Protein backbone atom coordinates (compact mmCIF):
# COMPACT_ATOMS: atom_id res chain seq x y z
CA UNK A 1 0.00 0.00 0.00
CA UNK A 2 1.56 3.33 -1.01
CA UNK A 3 0.88 6.51 0.90
CA UNK A 4 0.11 8.36 -2.37
CA UNK A 5 -3.14 6.43 -2.72
CA UNK A 6 -6.36 8.29 -1.97
CA UNK A 7 -8.57 8.33 1.09
CA UNK A 8 -11.92 6.82 0.09
CA UNK A 9 -15.03 8.45 1.53
CA UNK A 10 -18.64 7.39 1.06
CA UNK A 11 -22.08 8.49 2.12
CA UNK A 12 -25.66 7.85 1.06
CA UNK A 13 -25.38 11.18 -0.71
CA UNK A 14 -23.93 14.64 -0.43
CA UNK A 15 -23.94 14.92 3.40
CA UNK A 16 -20.57 13.26 3.88
CA UNK A 17 -19.03 16.22 2.05
CA UNK A 18 -19.23 17.93 5.48
CA UNK A 19 -16.76 15.25 6.65
CA UNK A 20 -14.64 15.58 3.51
CA UNK A 21 -14.27 19.31 4.26
CA UNK A 22 -12.91 18.55 7.75
CA UNK A 23 -10.52 15.90 6.39
CA UNK A 24 -9.30 18.14 3.58
CA UNK A 25 -8.76 21.04 6.01
CA UNK A 26 -6.66 18.84 8.33
CA UNK A 27 -4.92 16.78 5.64
CA UNK A 28 -4.59 19.04 2.58
CA UNK A 29 -1.85 16.87 1.14
CA UNK A 30 -4.11 13.83 0.79
CA UNK A 31 -5.86 12.73 -2.39
CA UNK A 32 -9.52 11.77 -1.89
CA UNK A 33 -12.19 9.87 -3.78
CA UNK A 34 -15.73 10.64 -2.59
CA UNK A 35 -18.74 8.49 -3.48
CA UNK A 36 -22.20 9.99 -3.14
CA UNK A 37 -24.72 7.17 -3.46
CA UNK A 38 -27.47 9.74 -3.93
CA UNK A 39 -29.58 7.52 -6.12
CA UNK A 40 -30.14 5.34 -3.02
CA UNK A 41 -30.55 8.20 -0.51
CA UNK A 42 -31.87 8.25 2.09
CA UNK A 43 -30.33 5.20 3.77
CA UNK A 44 -31.97 6.20 7.05
CA UNK A 45 -35.28 4.43 6.48
CA UNK A 46 -33.87 1.31 4.84
CA UNK A 47 -33.54 -2.11 6.48
CA UNK A 48 -30.24 -3.11 8.06
CA UNK A 49 -29.76 -5.65 5.22
CA UNK A 50 -30.13 -2.94 2.57
CA UNK A 51 -27.79 -0.56 4.39
CA UNK A 52 -25.23 -3.37 4.62
CA UNK A 53 -25.60 -4.31 0.94
CA UNK A 54 -25.12 -0.68 -0.17
CA UNK A 55 -22.17 -0.19 2.20
CA UNK A 56 -20.50 -3.29 0.74
CA UNK A 57 -21.06 -1.99 -2.81
CA UNK A 58 -19.50 1.40 -1.94
CA UNK A 59 -16.61 -0.24 -0.08
CA UNK A 60 -15.76 -2.55 -2.97
CA UNK A 61 -15.84 0.34 -5.44
CA UNK A 62 -13.42 2.34 -3.29
CA UNK A 63 -11.11 -0.64 -2.75
CA UNK A 64 -11.04 -1.28 -6.51
CA UNK A 65 -10.15 2.38 -7.05
CA UNK A 66 -7.04 1.79 -4.93
CA UNK A 67 -7.98 3.66 -1.76
CA UNK A 68 -5.69 3.15 1.25
CA UNK A 69 -8.36 3.77 3.91
CA UNK A 70 -12.14 4.14 3.88
CA UNK A 71 -14.01 6.80 5.80
CA UNK A 72 -17.67 5.89 6.22
CA UNK A 73 -18.97 9.47 6.22
CA UNK A 74 -22.44 8.30 7.20
CA UNK A 75 -23.74 7.61 10.71
CA UNK A 76 -26.41 5.26 9.36
CA UNK A 77 -23.91 3.11 7.45
CA UNK A 78 -21.39 3.16 10.31
CA UNK A 79 -23.82 2.13 13.02
CA UNK A 80 -25.27 -0.67 10.85
CA UNK A 81 -22.34 -1.94 8.81
CA UNK A 82 -18.89 -1.06 10.20
CA UNK A 83 -18.52 -4.25 12.27
CA UNK A 84 -19.25 -6.39 9.22
CA UNK A 85 -16.94 -4.35 6.97
CA UNK A 86 -14.06 -4.48 9.45
CA UNK A 87 -14.48 -8.23 9.81
CA UNK A 88 -14.53 -8.87 6.06
CA UNK A 89 -12.07 -6.39 4.47
CA UNK A 90 -8.48 -5.79 5.50
CA UNK A 91 -8.45 -2.06 4.61
CA UNK A 92 -8.69 0.28 7.64
CA UNK A 93 -12.13 1.87 8.20
CA UNK A 94 -12.98 5.08 10.01
CA UNK A 95 -16.60 5.46 11.04
CA UNK A 96 -18.77 8.21 12.41
CA UNK A 97 -21.18 8.07 15.33
CA UNK A 98 -23.28 10.77 16.98
CA UNK A 99 -21.22 12.83 19.46
CA UNK A 100 -23.23 11.75 22.52
CA UNK A 101 -20.24 11.55 24.86
CA UNK A 102 -19.09 15.21 24.82
CA UNK A 103 -22.70 16.40 25.06
CA UNK A 104 -23.49 13.99 27.93
CA UNK A 105 -20.36 14.93 29.86
CA UNK A 106 -20.82 18.68 29.50
CA UNK A 107 -24.56 19.25 29.77
CA UNK A 108 -25.55 21.56 32.63
CA UNK A 109 -29.30 21.08 32.22
CA UNK A 110 -28.89 17.28 32.23
CA UNK A 111 -30.81 17.05 28.98
CA UNK A 112 -29.43 16.66 25.45
CA UNK A 113 -31.16 16.33 22.11
CA UNK A 114 -30.12 14.08 19.30
CA UNK A 115 -31.33 14.38 15.75
CA UNK A 116 -30.44 11.42 13.51
CA UNK A 117 -31.91 8.94 11.07
CA UNK A 118 -34.15 6.04 12.04
CA UNK A 119 -31.38 3.64 10.98
CA UNK A 120 -28.90 5.25 13.38
CA UNK A 121 -31.25 5.64 16.33
CA UNK A 122 -32.45 2.05 16.11
CA UNK A 123 -28.96 0.53 15.77
CA UNK A 124 -27.34 -1.59 18.47
CA UNK A 125 -24.19 0.52 18.39
CA UNK A 126 -26.20 3.67 19.16
CA UNK A 127 -28.01 1.98 22.07
CA UNK A 128 -24.74 0.75 23.49
CA UNK A 129 -23.53 4.37 23.65
CA UNK A 130 -26.73 5.91 25.04
CA UNK A 131 -27.00 3.16 27.70
CA UNK A 132 -23.78 4.51 29.20
CA UNK A 133 -25.38 7.89 29.96
CA UNK A 134 -29.14 7.46 30.06
CA UNK A 135 -29.32 6.93 33.81
CA UNK A 136 -27.71 10.28 34.56
CA UNK A 137 -29.18 12.54 31.88
CA UNK A 138 -32.22 12.81 29.65
CA UNK A 139 -31.51 11.96 26.02
CA UNK A 140 -34.24 13.19 23.71
CA UNK A 141 -33.99 11.24 20.46
CA UNK A 142 -35.64 12.49 17.30
CA UNK A 143 -35.75 10.87 13.87
CA UNK A 144 -35.13 13.55 11.24
CA UNK A 145 -37.65 12.12 8.79
CA UNK A 146 -37.74 14.04 5.51
CA UNK A 147 -34.67 16.20 6.17
CA UNK A 148 -32.15 14.30 4.02
CA UNK A 149 -34.29 14.39 0.83
CA UNK A 150 -34.67 18.17 1.21
CA UNK A 151 -30.91 18.62 1.63
CA UNK A 152 -30.24 16.31 -1.34
CA UNK A 153 -32.60 18.53 -3.36
CA UNK A 154 -30.65 21.63 -2.30
CA UNK A 155 -33.60 23.08 -0.35
CA UNK A 156 -31.51 24.42 2.50
CA UNK A 157 -33.49 27.60 2.94
CA UNK A 158 -36.94 26.17 2.32
CA UNK A 159 -40.08 26.71 4.38
CA UNK A 160 -40.59 22.90 4.39
CA UNK A 161 -37.24 22.38 6.06
CA UNK A 162 -37.91 25.06 8.65
CA UNK A 163 -41.34 23.56 9.45
CA UNK A 164 -39.86 20.08 9.93
CA UNK A 165 -37.14 21.43 12.22
CA UNK A 166 -39.70 23.35 14.31
CA UNK A 167 -41.62 20.11 14.88
CA UNK A 168 -38.49 18.11 15.68
CA UNK A 169 -36.97 20.67 18.04
CA UNK A 170 -40.13 21.36 20.05
CA UNK A 171 -39.91 18.35 22.43
CA UNK A 172 -36.21 19.03 22.94
CA UNK A 173 -36.83 22.67 23.85
CA UNK A 174 -39.63 21.62 26.21
CA UNK A 175 -37.14 19.35 28.01
CA UNK A 176 -34.66 22.21 28.33
CA UNK A 177 -31.75 20.71 26.36
CA UNK A 178 -28.48 22.64 26.25
CA UNK A 179 -26.80 20.44 23.61
CA UNK A 180 -28.13 19.40 20.22
CA UNK A 181 -26.17 16.52 18.70
CA UNK A 182 -26.32 16.29 14.92
CA UNK A 183 -26.17 12.55 14.27
CA UNK A 184 -26.23 12.58 10.49
CA UNK A 185 -23.54 13.95 8.19
CA UNK A 186 -26.12 15.83 6.12
CA UNK A 187 -27.15 17.88 9.15
CA UNK A 188 -24.14 20.24 9.50
CA UNK A 189 -25.69 21.94 6.45
CA UNK A 190 -28.64 22.80 8.74
CA UNK A 191 -26.47 24.83 11.13
CA UNK A 192 -27.20 28.26 9.57
CA UNK A 193 -30.96 27.63 9.92
CA UNK A 194 -30.70 25.96 13.33
CA UNK A 195 -28.62 28.82 14.74
CA UNK A 196 -31.43 31.21 13.90
CA UNK A 197 -34.08 28.95 15.43
CA UNK A 198 -32.41 27.88 18.69
CA UNK A 199 -31.78 29.95 21.83
CA UNK A 200 -28.16 31.04 22.03
CA UNK A 201 -27.23 28.87 25.03
CA UNK A 202 -27.89 25.64 23.10
CA UNK A 203 -24.69 24.26 21.62
CA UNK A 204 -24.85 22.38 18.33
CA UNK A 205 -22.25 19.65 17.95
CA UNK A 206 -21.30 17.09 15.33
CA UNK A 207 -18.50 14.58 14.88
CA UNK A 208 -16.80 15.94 11.75
CA UNK A 209 -13.61 17.22 13.39
CA UNK A 210 -13.24 14.04 15.45
CA UNK A 211 -13.47 11.91 12.30
CA UNK A 212 -10.76 13.97 10.60
CA UNK A 213 -8.51 13.65 13.68
CA UNK A 214 -9.07 9.91 13.82
CA UNK A 215 -8.30 9.56 10.09
CA UNK A 216 -5.04 11.41 10.66
CA UNK A 217 -4.13 9.22 13.65
CA UNK A 218 -4.82 5.94 11.85
CA UNK A 219 -2.95 7.00 8.70
CA UNK A 220 0.02 8.14 10.79
CA UNK A 221 0.06 4.97 12.88
CA UNK A 222 0.13 2.79 9.73
CA UNK A 223 2.69 5.00 8.00
CA UNK A 224 0.16 5.88 5.31
CA UNK A 225 0.22 9.69 5.38
CA UNK A 226 1.11 11.14 1.98
CA UNK A 227 4.61 12.57 2.16
CA UNK A 228 4.97 13.32 -1.56
CA UNK A 229 4.80 16.96 -2.61
CA UNK A 230 2.70 16.57 -5.78
CA UNK A 231 -0.68 18.31 -5.79
CA UNK A 232 -3.24 15.82 -4.44
CA UNK A 233 -6.13 14.67 -6.62
CA UNK A 234 -9.62 15.24 -5.21
CA UNK A 235 -12.48 13.58 -7.06
CA UNK A 236 -16.19 13.39 -6.31
CA UNK A 237 -18.51 10.85 -7.91
CA UNK A 238 -22.28 10.88 -7.67
CA UNK A 239 -24.69 8.41 -9.25
CA UNK A 240 -27.39 11.10 -9.39
CA UNK A 241 -27.61 14.73 -10.46
CA UNK A 242 -24.38 16.57 -9.57
CA UNK A 243 -25.79 20.11 -9.38
CA UNK A 244 -26.39 20.28 -5.62
CA UNK A 245 -23.11 18.54 -4.76
CA UNK A 246 -21.25 21.05 -6.92
CA UNK A 247 -23.09 23.90 -5.21
CA UNK A 248 -22.31 22.80 -1.64
CA UNK A 249 -18.68 22.35 -2.68
CA UNK A 250 -18.83 25.87 -4.16
CA UNK A 251 -17.65 24.44 -7.51
CA UNK A 252 -14.15 24.06 -6.05
CA UNK A 253 -13.67 20.37 -6.85
CA UNK A 254 -13.97 17.95 -9.71
CA UNK A 255 -17.47 16.40 -9.52
CA UNK A 256 -18.45 13.62 -11.95
CA UNK A 257 -21.52 11.62 -12.65
CA UNK A 258 -20.86 7.88 -12.44
CA UNK A 259 -23.00 4.76 -12.36
CA UNK A 260 -21.96 2.58 -9.44
N1 LIG B 1 -25.68 11.12 5.89
C2 LIG B 1 -26.11 9.90 6.43
C3 LIG B 1 -25.91 9.78 7.92
O4 LIG B 1 -24.96 10.31 8.44
C5 LIG B 1 -27.31 9.21 5.89
C6 LIG B 1 -28.57 9.94 5.78
C7 LIG B 1 -29.56 9.08 5.02
O8 LIG B 1 -29.23 8.69 3.91
O9 LIG B 1 -30.63 8.81 5.55
O10 LIG B 1 -26.66 9.11 8.59
Q: Verify that 41 and 52 share a domain, yes or no.
A: yes
Span from the CA of 139 to the centroid of ligand 1 (angstroms): 20
Q: What is the pLDDT averaged over residues 195-203?
A: 97
Does 2 map to a domain? no
Q: How confident is the model at residue 229 (pLDDT cuts 50, 70, 90)?
A: confident
Contact 256, 236 (CB under 8 A): yes
Q: Which atom of ligand 1 is nearest to the CA of 74?
A: 4
- Judge if 74 and 146 occupy the same domain: no
Mean pLDDT, the chain, rounded, equals 97
69-72 β-sheet, strand order: 93-94, 69-72, 7-11, 32-36, 234-238, 254-257
Stretch 192-204: mean pLDDT, rounded? Answer: 97
The predicted pLDDT at position 230 comes to: 86
SS3 119: helix
pLDDT in tens, 60-98: 999 999 999 999 999 999 999 999 999 999 999 999 999
Pocket of ligand 1 (CB under 6 A): 11-13, 15, 41-44, 74-76, 117, 120, 148, 184-186
For 2, phi then psi, to 5°, come to -100, 150
Asked if the model's pLDDT at residue 1 lies above 90, the reply is no
Give tens-digit pLDDT for 14-66. 999 999 999 999 999 999 999 999 999 999 999 999 999 999 999 999 999 99
Indicate which CATH number applies to the domain containing 134: 3.40.50.1860
Q: Is residue 112 part of a domain?
A: yes
3-state secondary structure of 246: helix
- Residues above pLDDT 90, as percent of the chain: 98
Judged against a pLDDT cut of 80, whether residue 157 lies above it is answered with: yes
Residue 1 inside a domain? The answer is: no
pLDDT of amino acid 162: 98
Question: Given ligand 1 and candidates 15, 54, 150, which is best to mutate, with the most ligand atoms within 8 Å of its CB?
Answer: 15
The DSSP secondary structure of 52-116, one letter per residue, reads HHHHHHHHHHHHHTT-SEEEE--HHHHHHHHHHHHHH--S-EE-----HHHHHHH-SSSEEEEEE
pLDDT more than 70, % of the chain: 99
Please check whether residue 54 is in contact with residue 76, taking contact to mean a CB–CB distance below 8 angstroms: no
Q: What per-residue confidence (pLDDT) applies to 2? A: 67
Q: d(Cα 161, Cα 58) in Å, to the nearest integer?
A: 29
Q: Do residues 109 and 195 share a domain? A: yes
pLDDT for residue 170 is more than 80: yes
Ligand 1 center to residue 233 CA distance, Å?
Answer: 25
Binning the chain into helix, strand and coil, the percentages to the nearest 5 are 45, 15, 35
* Residues 181, 215 within the same domain: no
Q: Which atom of ligand 1 is nearest to 16's Cα?
A: 1
| Domain co-membership, 110 together with 234 | no
Q: Tell me: pLDDT of 108 over 80.
A: yes
* DSSP one-letter code for 38: G
Say whether both 106 and 201 belong to one domain: yes
Do 147 and 58 lie in a common domain?
no
- CA 45–ligand 1 middle distance (angstroms): 9
- What is the position in ligand 1's atom list of the atom closest to the CA of 96? 4
- 176 lies in the same domain as 225: no
137 is in which domain, residue-wise? 100-205
Q: How many residues does the chain have?
A: 260
Ligand 1: which of 19, 99, 114, 119 to mutate, most ligand atoms within 8 Å of CB?
Answer: 119
Packed helices 75-88 and 124-133: angle between N→C axes, nearest 10 degrees:
110
Distance CA 223, CA 127 (A): 34
Looking at the fold, whether 137 and 156 belong to one and the same domain comes out as: yes
Is the separation of the CB atoms in 168 and 115 below 8 Å?
A: yes
**Domain boundary at 183, 205, 227, which?**
205
Which atom of ligand 1 is found nearest the CA of 73?
A: 4
Q: How many domains does the chain have?
A: 2
Q: Whose CA is nearest to atom 2 of ligand 1?
A: 74
Q: How many whole angstroms from 229 Cα to the centroid of ligand 1?
A: 34
Cα(140) to ligand 1 centroid in Å equals 19
pLDDT at 239 (0 to 100): 97
Amino acid sequence: MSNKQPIGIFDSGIGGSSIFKEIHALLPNESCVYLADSINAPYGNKSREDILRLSIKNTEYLINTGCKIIVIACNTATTNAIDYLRANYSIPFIGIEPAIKPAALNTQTKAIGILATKGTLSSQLFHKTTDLYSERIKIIEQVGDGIVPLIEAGQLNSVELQSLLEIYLKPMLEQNIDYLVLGCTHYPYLIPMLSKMLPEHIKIIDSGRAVANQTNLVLASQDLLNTYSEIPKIEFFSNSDITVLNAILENKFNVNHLKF
